[in-house]
């Protein structure tokens, strides 16, 4: 870069100047990404309970950061572009959290619930409990609402 | 302005009033830098909208998984971790070659840019081929979204002359209006029984990976267009914006997959 444009650095000539990383550098980032992929697959064979999803998402975020910072050049780009990307993730997390919060104040009653396996006659994964869930089971249902009628009601 | 002209060496210029403009510089921009930064800003805003579009599906995933962790746990054993991981590495490698294509364009190595773009496109094809094998296996087993769940789409759960899965038609007269139970061999070789409601997991699986696959196809079209322009010699170290933005789109495809892979293939209790 310096050699090509050395004549033009005494004032802003308006030409595009970008940071050019060596090829080796990109290969190193790729190696890091593959290592993290191997790690996340290996880790998935161990049972850490509910921590599994946290570990998987942390590793995924590390990979995403590497891609965004170096392959997508954010590290050497205008800071504002990084802010746009972070804003997208911020609003995405607001979206998911508020939707989740809204769900907590509604009663659950899956109309298509099936409980028993046709083969064994025993309870099957994903089946509803024997008495289907009502507003009481949810815990956060609006007070005074009739049982099982919480669908349209919202907490005031 | 003389210096601008000098630094644009190798690109055509058109006379316009008293000033000499590089051909690629549009009239509403003062300098190539301003044009470059504006293009990048626009691309990043577009990438933000893409993330939010996929965000709706990630939100649905979070809610459904929170409500039915057991179903997600059982159903995810029907996804092949090795195939998913291979596709991850293929996509990461294509991201590397896309980044190297941009680098080659920055230093003006036109043929190298074309080479890396072709490698990126080949990786995209490899990704889709692996995805095809994954999809068709699920079609065979009847692991389909919505009311199709439990109704095998292809040769009735027979693969290589062996029965690999059974769909238990409880409401035979209702078929194919309602989803059915599926009993099939999962990716670790265990026979597993999935309730009709597991259609939710496969609905999310097919819509999320399907929308991602659509982005792979769009990305391939964009990179092909960039490749054609590159072969025609439209780019130089002074102007490589389309290579840069095309690669940014491709990295976005990679970025989405980086989250899809663990959420669909890896999360759940190991056997």
Characterize B163-195 residue by residue with b for buried, 16 or more Cβ atoms within 10 angstroms of its Cβ, and e for exposed.
eebbbebeeeeeeeebbbbbbbbbbeeeebbbb
Which of B37, B96, B166 is the best mutation test for A, with the most CBs of A within 10 A? Answer: B96
CA nearest to B258 within chain A:
A60
Say what percent of chain B tops pLDDT 90: 56
Residue B159, φ and ψ in degrees, nearest 5: -130, 130
Residue B229 resides in a domain = yes
* Cβ–Cβ below 8 Å for A44 and B107: no
Instruction: Render pLDDT for A71-89 as a digit per residue (tens, 0 to 9).
Output: 999 999 999 999 999 999 9
Question: Considering only CB atoms, which chain B residues are within 8 Å of A53?
Answer: 267
pLDDT band at B163 (very low <50, low <70, confident <90, very high): low
pLDDT band at B158 (very low <50, low <70, confident <90, very high): very low
> Which region among B5-14, B122-131, B227-236 has the lowest average model confidence (pLDDT)?
B5-14
Residue range B211-232: mean pLDDT, rounded: 97
How many distinct structural domains can be found in chain B? 1
* Cβ–Cβ below 8 Å for B258 and A13: no
Residue B213 resides in a domain = yes
Residue B217 resides in a domain = yes
> Which region among A124-138, B48-62, B198-212 has the lowest average model confidence (pLDDT)?
A124-138
* Cβ–Cβ below 8 Å for A60 and B36: no
CA B149, CA B196: separation in Å to the nearest integer? 7
Question: Closest Cα partner for B113 from B257, B260, B252, B223?
Answer: B223
Chain B nearest C-alpha distance from A54 (Å)? 9
Cβ-nearest to B81 among A30, A41, A68:
A41
Residue B134 resides in a domain = yes
Q: Domain holding B179: CATH number?
A: 1.20.120.80
Question: Considering only CB atoms, which chain B residues are within 8 Å of A37?
Answer: 85, 88-89, 92
Question: Closest Cα partner for B221 from B113, B131, B123, B121?
Answer: B121
Q: What is the pLDDT of residue B268?
A: 78
Residue range B182-204: mean pLDDT, rounded: 86
Residue B248 resides in a domain = yes
> Which region among A49-63, B188-202, B223-237 has the lowest average model confidence (pLDDT)?
B188-202
Cβ within 8 Å of residue B36, ≥6 positions away: A16, B241
Residue range B237-252: mean pLDDT, rounded: 96
Tokens 């692991």 belong to which residue? B143
* Cβ–Cβ below 8 Å for B85 and A20: no
Residue B27 resides in a domain = no
* Cβ–Cβ below 8 Å for A60 and B262: yes
Residue range B105-120: mean pLDDT, rounded: 97
Q: What is the pLDDT of residue B147?
A: 76
Residue B40 resides in a domain = no
Q: Supply the pTM of this predicted model.
A: 0.79
pLDDT band at B176 (very low <50, low <70, confident <90, very high): low
Chain B interface includes A149 (CB < 8 A): no
Chain B interface includes A76 (CB < 8 A): no
Q: What is the pLDDT of residue B168?
A: 58
Residue range B116-139: mean pLDDT, rounded: 95
Cβ-nearest to A96 among B59, B237, B259:
B59
- pLDDT at residue B124 is higher than 90: yes
- pLDDT at residue B149 is higher than 50: yes
Chain B interface includes A70 (CB < 8 A): yes
Residue range B189-209: mean pLDDT, rounded: 89
- pLDDT at residue B258 is higher than 70: yes
Domain interval for residue B174: 57-155+164-266
Q: Which residue has the higher pLDDT, A139 or B199?
A: B199
* Cβ–Cβ below 8 Å for A56 and B267: yes
CA B254, CA B31: separation in Å to the nearest integer? 32
Residue B18 resides in a domain = no
Q: Which residue has the higher pLDDT, B137 or A125?
A: B137
Q: What is the pLDDT of residue B208?
A: 96
- pLDDT at residue B235 is higher than 80: yes
Cβ-nearest to B270 among A44, A88, A99:
A44
pLDDT band at B195 (very low <50, low <70, confident <90, very high): confident
Q: In chain A, which stretches have pLDDT less than 50?
A: 1-10, 107, 109-115, 127-156
Q: Between B199-231 and B110-141, two packed helices, what is the crossing angle to 10 degrees?
A: 160
Q: What is the pLDDT of residue A18?
A: 86
Residue range B97-105: mean pLDDT, rounded: 97
Instruction: Render pLDDT for B59-87 as a digit per residue (tens, 0 to 9).
Output: 999 988 888 888 888 899 999 999 999 99
* Cβ–Cβ below 8 Å for A126 and B251: no
Q: Which residue has the higher pLDDT, A124 or B239?
A: B239
């Amino acid at each position: 870069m310096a050699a090509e444009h050395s004549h033009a650095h005494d004032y802003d000539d308006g030409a595009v100047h970008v940071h050019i990383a060596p090829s080796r550098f990109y290969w190193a980032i790729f190696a890091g990404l593959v290592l993290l992929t191997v790690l996340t697959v290996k880790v998935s064979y161990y049972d850490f309970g509910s921590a599994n999803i946290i570990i998987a998402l942390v590793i995924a975020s590390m990979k995403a950061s590497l891609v965004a910072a170096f392959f997508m050049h954010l590290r050497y780009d205008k800071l504002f572009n990084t802010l746009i990307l972070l804003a997208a993730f911020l609003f995405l997390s607001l979206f998911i959290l508020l939707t989740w919060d809204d769900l907590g104040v509604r009663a659950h009653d899956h109309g298509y619930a099936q409980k028993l396996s046709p083969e064994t006659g025993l309870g099957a994964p994903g089946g509803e409990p024997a008495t289907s869930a009502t507003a009481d089971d949810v815990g956060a249902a609006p007070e005074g609402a009739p049982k099982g009628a919480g669908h349209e009601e919202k907490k005031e | 302005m003389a210096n601008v002209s000098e630094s644009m060496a190798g690109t055509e210029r058109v006379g316009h009033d008293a000033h000499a403009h590089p051909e690629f510089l549009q009239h509403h921009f003062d300098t190539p830098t301003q044009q470059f930064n504006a293009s990048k800003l626009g691309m990043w805003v577009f990438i933000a909208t893409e993330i939010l579009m996929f965000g709706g599906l990630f939100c649905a995933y979070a809610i459904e998984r929170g409500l039915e962790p057991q179903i997600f746990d059982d159903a995810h054993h029907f996804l092949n971790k090795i195939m998913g991981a291979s596709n991850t590495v293929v996509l990461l490698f294509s991201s590397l070659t896309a980044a190297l294509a941009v680098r080659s364009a920055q230093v003006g190595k036109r043929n190298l840019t074309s080479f890396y773009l072709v490698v990126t496109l080949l990786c995209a094809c490899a990704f889709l081929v692996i995805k095809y094998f994954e999809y068709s296996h699920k079609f065979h087993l009847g692991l389909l979204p919505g009311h199709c769940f439990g109704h095998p789409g292809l040769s009735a759960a027979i693969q290589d002359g062996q029965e690999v899965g059974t769909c238990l038609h409880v409401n035979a007269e209702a078929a194919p209006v309602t989803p059915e139970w599926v009993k099939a061999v999962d990716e670790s070789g265990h026979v597993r029984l999935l309730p009709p409601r597991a259609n939710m997991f496969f609905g999310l699986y097919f819509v999320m990976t399907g929308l991602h696959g659509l982005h792979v196809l769009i990305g391939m079209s964009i990179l092909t267009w960039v490749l054609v322009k590159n072969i025609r010699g439209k780019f130089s170290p002074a102007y490589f914006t389309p290579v840069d933005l095309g690669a940014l789109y491709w990295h976005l495809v990679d970025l989405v997959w980086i989250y899809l892979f663990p959420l669909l293939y890896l999360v759940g209790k190991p056997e």
